Structure 1
Amino acid sequence: MEPIIALDFATGAEAVAFVDRFPKTTPLFVKVGMELFYAEGPQIIKQLQALRPLNLFLDLKLHDIPHTVEKAAYQLGRLGVTLTTAHAAGGSAMLTAAKRGLLAGAEAAGVLPPRLLAITQLTSTSTAMLHNQLQIPGTVRASVQHLAAVAQAAGADGVVASAQEVLDIRAVTRPDFLVITPGIRPKGAAVGDQVRVVTPAEAKRRGASGIVVGRPITQAADPLAAYAAINTEWSTAQND
């Protein structure tokens, strides 16, 4: 899986212009998150799909009662995206409902269903935040590992987690369970609001299935060169 580029732009025009800079012969995997989707709606998904062949990760982090999540997931399942997300903290019944909605929506639209990723702990979450604000005891790693096991049992296809927790997740999940890792920063890049970050090579060595990279590419002086360097680092690193 090639690196997933987070299209963290305020408008669809910016996102389309950015994607259009890449040669159509270059395999491309992009992520549409809340900012862009809330600004443009489902139309941005259709625009990107019409622009060129690509895989699309729609990252809306569903989190509500199971019935509401199932109905929302039905609509997302109709869009023909590759990956989408729901919060593991919503519980197993909610995750199962999300999966059910995605499958039904995809079937109704005649498209392949998205794979469901469960959000474990955000890469901006620190141990202090976990304890003092969320009142969750133990370590971030233990929480992520537990949520990954819950997600797998509920029918999710994988999780989103920091690469720092990949080995813990692998210890309690099946080999084909996806572990997609944001919080990726090339060596020397600004960390920003991320807390638990690793380099592309380190993510690969730890066994990540894929990486999500936003600002180090989208805000680079030469985004194509930045993407190429990250892709090379990711694709040539060896799993431990």
Structure 2
Amino acid sequence: MVGDRLAALIPSLFNHPADRIIVALDGMAPQQALAFSRQLEGLRWVKVGLELFVQAGPGVVAQLREQGRRVFLDLKFHDIPATMAGACRRAAALGAELITVHACSGSEALKAAQAAAVEGAQAAGQPLPTLLAVTVLTSWQEQRMQQELAMAQGIAERVPALAQLAASAGIGGCVCSPLEAAALRRQHPEPFALVTPGIRPKGAAAGDQARVMGPAEAIAAGASQLVIGRPITQAHDPAAAFERCCAELA
């Protein structure tokens, strides 16, 4: 079966611990982000989020790819189906290999986004991207989410429900808290991708993330790749911090 063949390829996607680490370039000006990416030896993946994309524009994706970096474009698209399809088509044409969409946009929008992303990549001769559905942002705490959003479901119920919605719509993976990775991996075997922010190596501050875990723990729980930002980018020695994360995974 196709799923079995894809699953057999999974180990080859992560031949080195650095393949599992996506360094978030959040909070950086465009030239600073490009310089940081260029200087961090061994870096494979970078995340371009809203702040950097709004300041630098789509060109920053091409510039990072020229450096040999693979790009996770984390813009969390959430709109009507036609708009999400158009956005994902253009994002895939840029060469972004991971693209986030909100699962709560619904199955129709998710299906349209997935089809358009494949179409955009093929038309531009770019690698086929994986769309990642955002379930519940890692900054949410359950009581506040239920109160402010008038939501009866708790996080433990809502995350798998949204992940299932995304998977049924053909989306290739989810962004989730590392604390939810084990349950989602049982629900969705590889090659379904689980990309986890909220990763904090030993000794790192939690910051604005409410649901966090260490790198090795998250991989053991079933995460495919880890998004790590400030513990590396704001470290006294970013290269050493990156190597420590790689060593922890090795």
Same fold (TM over 0.5): yes
What pairs with 1:73-88 in structure 2 (closer than 5 Å)? 73-88=88-103
Residue 4 in structure 1 maps to residue 22 in structure 2: yes
2:140 and 2:202 map into 1 onto residues whose CA distance is 21
Distance 1:34 1:139 in 2: 27
Structure 2 match to 1:111: 126
**Runs (4+) of structure 1 moved beyond 4 Å?**
none
Of the structure 1 ranges 170-179 and 38-47, higher mean CA displacement relative to structure 2 is found in: 170-179
TM-aligned CA deviation for residue 53 of structure 1: 1.5
1:15 corresponds to 2:29: no
Give the CA deviation at 1:139. 2.2
Q: What does residue 216 of structure 1 align with?
A: 231
Aligned Cα RMSD in Å? 1.2
TM-score w.r.t. the length of structure 1 is 0.93
Match of 2:111 among 96, 104, 107: 96
Q: Indicate whether 1:38 and 2:58 are aligned.
A: no
Would you say the 8 A contact 1:10–1:39 is kept in 2? Answer: no
Aligned to 2:181: 166
Cα distance in 2 for partners of 1:74, 1:82 equals 12
Q: Which residue number corresponds to residue 201 of structure 1? A: 216
**Structure 2 counterpart of 1:103, one-letter code:** V
Per the alignment, residue 191 of structure 1 pairs with: 206
Q: Which runs of 5+ in 2 are unaligned?
A: 1-18
Pairwise CA distance, 1:133 = 1.0
1:27 is displaced (CA, Å) by 4.6
Structure 1 residue 48 and structure 2 residue 64: aligned?
A: yes
Alpha-carbon distance between aligned partners in 1 of 2:64 and 2:182, rounded to the nearest angstrom: 34
Q: What letter is aligned with 2:52?
A: L
Equivalent AA in structure 1 for residue 216 of structure 2 = A
Higher percent of residues as helix: 2
Q: In the aligned structure 1, how far is the partner of 2:190 from the partner of 2:198?
A: 23
**After alignment, is 6-15 or 222-231 more displaced?**
6-15
Tell me the percent identity: 44
- Separation in 1 of the partners of 2:125 and 2:21? 27
Kindly state the Cα deviation for residue 174 of structure 1 after the two structures are TM-superposed.
3.3
TM-score by length of structure 2 reads 0.90
Letter in 1 for 2:87: A
Alpha carbons 1:127, 1:140 under 8 Å: kept: yes
2 CA distance for matches of 1:107 and 1:80?
Answer: 10
Post-superposition offset of 1:65: 0.4
Q: Which one of the candidate residues 122, 137, 158 is aligned to 1:143?
A: 158
Q: Give CA deviations for 1:16-36 in whole Å, capped at 9, x if unaligned.
A: 11011123xx25111000000
How many Å apart are 1:148 and its aligned residue? Answer: 0.7
Is the 8 Å Cα contact of residues 9 and 36 (structure 1) preserved in structure 2? yes
5+ long unaligned stretches in structure 1: none
- Which amino acid in structure 1 is aligned with residue 50 of structure 2? M
**Cα distance, 1:161 vs. partner?**
0.3
Does the 8 Å contact 1:130/1:137 carry over to 2? no
Indicate if the aligned counterparts of 1:66 and 1:94 stay in contact, CA closer than 8 A: yes
1:60-112 deviation digits (Å, cap 9, x = unpaired): 00000001111111111101121011000111111111111111111221112
